[in-house]
Amino acid sequence: MTGPTLVQAARDALGQAMAADSAVIVLGEDVTAGGPFGLTKGLVDEYGRQRVRNTPISEGAVMGVAVGLALGGAQPFVDLMFCDFVTAASDQLFNHAAKIHFMSGGCYSVPLAVWTVGGAGTRWGAQHSQRLDAWIASVPGIKVLAPASPALAAASVLEAIGDPDPVVVFVDRALLHSRRDLLGDTGSPWRSRVVRGGTELTVAATGRLVHLALDAADSIGASAEVVDVQRLAPLDPEPVVDSVTRTSRLLVLHDEAGPGALAAMIAAAVQEAAFWYLDAPIARLTSPATPVPAAATLEDAYVLDADAVASAMKQVLQA
């Protein structure tokens, strides 16, 4: 695996988009310094401070500025660092960006791209480790992509910037420095797709859990079909449904805390569409319903790992 890491690939794609279109403007805290994860590294040297704009810690206003830029014909790209900070930007994202096309009767669209990183496992504690993709995906009017490989991250960045609607690219922190490819990841980031064929069980997963599912399937020698559900909004369950009609069993994996809204929605969609094909109850594996703890022992107990995925797969196969 000698290709770029996920964040390097995303950075290159962002640079490519900026080179191709002078309307692309990057906004965020510390973006001139490259951002906390290197997403904007070096961009200021090539494109200057007008197009790579450092902002104060004003997430609400910055998201609003991006909406205004988008309405004015620019292609803003907001680096929202941690997805936990979507709390502070939520009014502009959920109440404005998501709705202006609708409220204006289609007069205006908001071509806004947002990049954000989330997920536990790096000892950042309760307020910097949440996975809040389900929130964003539950608001009509926002598209959410969750790429799980460098190639898909690059494609997602390019698609998000080229799209006429608000698109959030949601990346697992655990994958930022991963170089691992996935089957078929040169295809469109807008469709869920099978990344491992199998006949006994379908596993629907997103982000880092796609890789865990692949590893777990190998380790227990199961004939599991793994579907990478990378478009979280509008949710794209058809490839999962399609797979379940062949395997008759489904395990849904998602890293959200608590009730696991996205996992539940996938389960509900499959139940409605493929009820008569199912040989076993649909199972879901999500993070526990607690805030994310900081201590290593506690966080390790919290985070879903390959063992948990493997045992969930075994259970579904035996059910």
Partner 1 sequence: MHLMGRRAVLATGIVGGSLPIALGNSLALPDEAVSISFFGDGAVQTGIFHETLNLASLWRARVLFVCENNGWAEFTSRAEHTTVETVAAHAQTYGMPADTIDGGDVLAVRAAASRLLERVRCGNPALLECQITRLRPHYEGDLRRAADPDPNDPLERLAAVLTDAGEDAATLAALRRTATVAAERALADALNDPPARSDDAAHLVFRRQP
Partner 2 sequence: MIERGTRPDQDEVVCRSMTTTQPTELLEPLLLARRFDEILLANTDAIRGHFHVSIGLEATAAALSRVRRSGDLITTTYRNHAHLAALGSDLSVMYAEIFGRDLGHQRGRGGSIHLSDPGLGMLHTSAMVSGGVPIALGQAYSLSRTRPGAVCFCFFGDGAFGEGAVHESLNLASLWRLPLVFVCENNAPPGDGRANDQQSAVSLLAIAEAHRVHGRAVDARHPAAVVDALEALAEEVRDGDGPRFLDAQAGRWPGNATFFPHDATGRTDVRHAQRDADDPWRSTDDPVLNECRRLLAAGVGLDHIRAIDRRITAEVEGALGRARLAPVAPPEAAFTDVVAP
Partner 3 sequence: MTSTVTYWQARAAALGRELDADARVVLVGGYVSAPFNPPDGLLEGYADRVLWPPISEAAQCGFGIGAAMSGLRPFVPIGTSSFMFYAWPQIANEAPNIRYLSGGLVTAPVVFHVMAGARRSSGAQHEHMPQAMLQNVPGLRILAPATPADIDGLIHAAFRCDDPVLLVDHVLLANATGEVPDNPDATMGRADLLRQGGDVLIVAYSLMVQRALVAAASLDTQGIEASVLNLRTLAPVPIDDVVHAVQNHPATLFVDEARGPGSTASYLMARVLEQAPSTVARLVCSKQAPSPFAEELLDEIVPTAERIALTAAAVLRES
Interface residues with partner 1 (CB under 8 A) are 23, 25, 53, 55-56, 58, 60-74, 76, 91-92, 95-96, 100-109, 140-141, 143, 163-165, 190, 231, 234, 236
Measure Cα distances from 162 to 88, 113, 138, 312 in Å: 26, 9, 22, 39
From candidates 36, 38, 68, 198, binder to partner 2 by CB under 8 A: 36
Nearer to partner 3, 22 or 104 (CB): 104
How far apart, in whole angstroms, are the C-alpha atoms of residue 288 and residue 277?
Answer: 29
Using CB under 8 A as the binding rule, whether residue 90 contacts partner 3 is answered as yes
Q: Is there a contact between 163 and 143 (Cβ–Cβ < 8 Å)? A: yes
Copy the structure tokens of residue 233: 């909004």
- The reply to whether 38 sits near partner 2 by the rule CB under 8 A is no
Q: CA nearest 153: which of 228, 66, 263?
A: 228
Q: Please report, for residues 16, 47, 63, the alpha-carbon distance to residue 20 in angstroms, rounded to integers and kept in the order given.
A: 6, 12, 23
User: Would you say 99 or 246 has its CB closer to partner 1?
Assistant: 99
**CB under 5 to 8 A by kind: which of partner 1, partner 2, partner 3, none does 198 bind?**
none
The torsion angle over the Cα atoms of residues 35, 212, 85 and 82, rounded to 10 degrees, is -10
CB closer to partner 1 out of 22 and 219: 22
Contact in structure between 277 and 257 (CB atoms under 8 Å) = no
Q: Of the candidates 290, 286, 279, 273, which has an alpha carbon nearest to the alpha carbon of residue 312?
A: 286
36 contact, one of partner 2, partner 1, partner 3, none, CB 5-8 Å limit per kind: partner 2
259 binds partner 3 (CB under 8 A): yes
Among 174, 257, 303, 304, binds partner 3 (CB under 8 A): 257
Contact 192, 232 (CB under 8 A): no
**Contact call for residue 245 and partner 3 (CB under 8 A):** no
| Backbone φ, ψ for residue 168 (5° rounding) | -105, 125
Which of the choices partner 2, partner 1, partner 3, none does residue 76 contact, using the CB cut-off of 5 to 8 A by kind? partner 1
Question: Taking CB within 5 to 8 Å according to partner kind, which of partner 3, partner 1, partner 2, none is near residue 316?
Answer: none
Among 56, 72, 105, 106, binds partner 2 (CB under 8 A): 56
- Rounded Cα distance between 133 and 208, Å, is 14
Answer for which of 133, 236, 255, 299 binds partner 2 (CB under 8 A) is 299
Q: Could you give the angle at the alpha carbon of 218 between the alpha carbons of 302 and 133, nearest 5°?
A: 40
CB-based contacts of 209, cutoff 8 Å, min separation 6: 253, 254, 255, 304, 309
Residues lying near partner 2 in the complex (CB under 8 A)? 30, 33, 36, 55-61, 84-85, 87-88, 122-128, 288-291, 293-302
Residues lying near partner 3 in the complex (CB under 8 A)? 60, 84, 87-88, 90-91, 94-95, 98-99, 102-103, 125-127, 132, 134-135, 137-141, 233-235, 256-265, 267-268, 271-272, 275, 278, 280-284, 288-291, 293
